[in-house]
Chains A and B, each alone.
Chain A
Amino acid sequence: MSTLEIRDLHVSVAGQGDEAREILRGVDLTVDSAQTHAIMGPNGSGKSTLAYSIAGHPKYQVTSGAITLDGEDVLAMSVDARARAGLFLAMQYPVEVPGVTVSNFLRTAVTAVRGEAPKLREFVKELNGTMKGLSIDPVFAQRNLNEGFSGGEKKRHEILQLQLLNPKIAILDETDSGLDIDALKVVSAGINAYREVPGHGVLLITHYTRILRYVRPDFVHVFVGGRIVEEGGPELAEELEANGYERFLPAEVMS
């Protein structure tokens, strides 16, 4: 049983000049393992900023507030230490890394997170099996990480990493965007397989209820202007789909 706690989180990003711009304005959120939370909100409201801030991206400056995982101060940890502590971020835009093969990368990551190198043969077996479950062609293992992958292929590989790294809390930033219908089912099944294991929590950022039909959330949060403005159950997602965000937007933002 794990708990990710976010308290009154304020985050700024350095703008074009030197002026820092505040993007997160007091986020409060608690994600327990065994729970699935969905975050929905308009473009530019700060959802990815929240995800990156939890993962520790250096561009985002936490100006106040706290993030803890099982009481441990996440903000004091380096990016790699956060991952080893059990946090995982499936990125909205996975990065292409030239010259580093998928298999070499995954073995290095698995070694770092598990604290010991898996035996090569066992690792190859595990990798092949996991790739098969996500309908990923085995030739991808020898390709350079994300290089030239299609949008959907990148997202599948994020879920491949999720399954191999087996974190306590997974943050999935628009993992459903850019997936065709079959891929959405495969990826959802992958997320569900991860969720079913006790001790695993999910924070899922999305624009669409489509994925929420496969990955049923326990809680839905509406994210507007850098904070959570409403919380509810799965029915809230349906309401957003029908009516949009209009009723949550302050008049002056509507320009």
Chain B
Amino acid sequence: MSFEVPTGREEAWRFTPLRRLRGLHGDAPFDLGKIVTAAKADPGVAVMHPHHGDLRNGSAFLPQDRVSARAFDSFEEATAVSVPAGLTASQPVMISLRGESAEHAAAAHTLVEVGANASAVVVLEYSGSATLADNVEFVVGEGASLSVVSLQDWDDDAVHLSHHAAVVGKDATFFHTAVSLGGSVVRLAPSVRYAGPGGNAELRGVYFADAGQHLEHRLFIDHNEPNCRSRVTYKGALQGNGAHAVWIGDVMIRPEATGTDSYEANRNLVLTDGTRVDSVPNLEISTGEVVRAGHASTSGRLEDEYLFYLMARGISALEARRLVIRGFFGELVGQLAVPELADQVMTAIGGKLEKGLS
């Protein structure tokens, strides 16, 4: 482990408020922090809690920075979910990580393996109060399908630095939706690489930063196999002083990745003054034979003209904002793999809007 303590000048850290991380990027000890994990799944799905040394050979995790390396070295007990080959899990696997205090740093590790031609939905729910560094591995077998919803539903004081690393097998499908609503600082880095041709990865995100919140999503898609597809769609809203959203979309198309089809988009809706968006798409193409490779990034004000038009029809300011926001997030939220979560997320977004107006 040879990662230096970041200073904030590095490309990868320049947007992150290091001073608010409570040493998580440095040397904060992990032994006192506590995260309560729980997992619920179909009887056919194995859920285990291996100790640090016993993480089974399914794990191929390779830390990419100091925080994930320290977390990987320091967690005590992982949560390991395994869906056997050929099984279609009838219920979503629910994994919850709940923090009880943000005072001490904590580390966690989660491994989700889906066997060949199996299919599963996994919901990760982060909640409570914590200073957490964690890694989540997804290993999607050949022809398998995995849909993940990761809810960052933290209390106001939480700090969370997280890596979600997926390996997508031959002809496999991986859906991942990050929903980041709570917390003081959330920095989530979902990454995808492929273990064979024909893989399909869709990464989506919904976030809403209000006053003082820093919500950062750093995506990395490594097109290292031919004929794979990736789609990235992240949408966020910002309101209130000091609300800060960061979106980094790195896509690398390697020389061997012929026939790649890739597109990434990030859209931000700015509701008030005093907010800041950094949105950086980054596409690196090393082969001439791509099907499609593109990106888009837009950040716009919630137009006063929309609000005036809706209010001129009798609709209150709050309801008008709600209509526009629902329209903005509606499609992404409507596609959540667990429909009941859609209402929960929309209600939470409505709550944040209301708080912002009062």
Contact partner of B314 among A57, A80, A144, CB < 8 A?
A80
Residues of B within 8 Å of A101, CB to CB, are 327
| Complex Cα–Cα for A104 and B326 (A) | 11
Interface of B is mostly: helix
Contact indicator B311/A83 (Cβ below 8 Å): yes
Docked pose: A82 CA to B305 CA in angstroms: 17
Docked pose: A57 CA to B312 CA in angstroms: 9
Chain A 57-96 near chain B by CB (<8 Å), digits 1 or 0: 1100000000000000000001110111000110100110
Per-position binary interface string of chain A over residues 138-168, scored 1 when its CB falls under 8 Å from any chain B CB and 0 otherwise: 0000001000000000000000010001000
Q: Which of B306, B309, B316, B324 has the most CB of A within 10 A?
A: B309
Rounded to whole Å, the gap between the CB of A76 and the closest CB of chain B is 16
Q: Which of A105-113, A128-136, A203-211 contacts B (4 or more CB under 8 A)?
A: A105-113
A161 lies within 8 A of B324 (CB): no
Nearest chain-B residue to A93 (Cβ)? B305
- Residues of B with C-beta under 8 A to A82: 312
**With a CB–CB cut-off of 8 A, which chain B residues contact A99?**
324, 326-328, 330
Residue A97 interfacial (CB < 8 Å): yes
Check: A178 CB closer than 8 A to any chain B CB.
no
Pick from A58, A98, A100, A112: contact of B304, CB under 8 Å: A58
Q: Does any Cβ of A come within 8 Å of B291's Cβ?
A: no
Neighbour of A80 across the interface among B305, B315, B323, B328, CB < 8 A? B315
B44 to chain A, nearest CB (A): 40
- Most chain B CB inside 10 Å of its own CB: which residue of A78, A82, A97, A161: A97
CB-CB under 8 A from A112, the residues of chain B are 313-316, 319
CB–CB B327/A80 < 8 A? no
Q: Which residues of A contact B319 (CB under 8 A)?
A: 108, 112
Distance in angstroms from B211 CB to nearest chain A CB is 23
When chains A and B are docked, how far (Å) is the Cα of A58 from the Cα of B308? 8
> Interface size class for chain B?
20 to 34
Task: Please state if A95 and B323 are interface contacts (CB–CB under 8 Å).
Answer: no
Contact residue among B304, B312, B313, B323 (Cβ-Cβ distance under 8 Å from A104): B323
Distance A78 CA – B310 CA, assembled complex (angstroms): 12
Q: In the complex, are the beta carbons of B314 and A109 less than 8 A apart?
A: yes
The answer on a CB contact under 8 Å between A80 and B324 is no
Chain B, 107-143, contact with A by CB distance < 8 Å: what is the 0/1 string? 0000000000000000000000000000000000000
Say yes or no: is A55 at the interface (Cβ < 8 Å to chain B): yes
B291-345 contacts to A, CB under 8 A, are 303-306, 308-317, 319-320, 323-324, 326-328, 330
Please, how many residues of chain A have a CB less than 8 angstroms from a CB on the other chain?
Answer: 29
* Chain A residues, Cβ within 8 Å of B310: 97, 100, 105, 109
Chain B contacts for A55, CB-based, 8 A:
308, 312
Encode B172-196 as 1/0 by CB contact (under 8 A) with A. Answer: 0000000000000000000000000
Among the interface residues A89, A91, A112, which one has the most CB atoms of the partner chain B within 10 A?
A112
Q: Chain B residues near A113: list those with CB within 8 A.
A: 313-314
Q: How far is the CA of A58 from the CA of B303 in the complex (A)?
A: 13
Expressed in whole angstroms, the Cα–Cα distance for A125 and B317 within the complex equals 28
**Given A100-B323, A100-B324, CB of A95 within 8 Å of CB of B315:** no
- Interchain nearest-CB distance for B288 vs A (Å): 36
Q: Are B311 and A95 in contact (CB under 8 A)?
A: no
Contact residues in A for B308 (Cβ distance below 8 Å): 55, 57-58, 79, 95
Q: List 7 A-B contacts (CB under 8 A).
A: A55-B308, A80-B320, A83-B311, A97-B310, A99-B326, A100-B323, A112-B313
**Chain A residues packing against B (C-beta within 8 Å):** 55-58, 78-80, 82-84, 88-89, 91, 94-95, 97-101, 104-105, 108-109, 112-113, 144, 161, 165
Given A55-B308, A56-B312, A105-B323, 12 other A-B residues pairs in contact with their CB atoms under 8 A: A58-B304, A78-B317, A79-B311, A80-B311, A80-B316, A97-B323, A98-B327, A99-B330, A100-B324, A105-B310, A108-B315, A112-B314
Q: Which 10 A-B pairs have the closest CB atoms?
A: A99-B327, A83-B314, A112-B314, A109-B313, A95-B309, A79-B311, A113-B314, A80-B311, A100-B327, A84-B314
